[in-house]
Amino acid sequence: MELELIRDIYAPTRTLGKLSINGVHECFICEDVVRKNGEKVYGQTAIPAGRYRIIITLSRRFKRELPLLLNVPNFEGIRIHSGNTEKDTEGCLLPGKTRNESGVFSSALATNELILKIRNAITAGQEVWITIKNG
């Protein structure tokens, strides 16, 4: 399964994008701000654009199984989880059914639907990858 996140709204404290699965729009994403290569502010920086494998593991923080992005340079524990604004993320991806310039909405619904699709792909023996692009 191939996920693609295209970042398209850059605000001073957040970045918003559109997520598709195998070329079909799935949801919107809210992240921390994209910074220059090599510049990182802990808990306030979006992960680098690139391609990452996704698995599902138990999150100790959220006490549930969540998608985890593997091998993100200079980051650890990058997950896909519910939230609405950059205040709810520390580099993680926050799905939402709708959005405006302040963040995403109906995040729990979007997150649960996305997790189900990822879990089904993994159960069927597929690898799941996400490509993140700066628009």
Can you give the residue range of the structural domain that contains 31?
2-134
pLDDT in tens, 6-34: 999 999 999 999 999 999 999 999 999 99
> 38 falls in which pLDDT band (50, 70, 90)?
low
Which DSSP letter does residue 129 get?
E
What does the pLDDT read at residue 55? 98
Are the CB atoms for 87 and 13 separated by under 8 Å? no
Report which of 29, 132, 118, 13 is spatially closest to residue 82, judged by C-alpha positions.
29
pLDDT in tens, 40-72: 888 889 999 999 999 999 999 999 999 999 999
Which DSSP letter does residue 123 get?
H
Write down the pTM of the prediction: 0.94
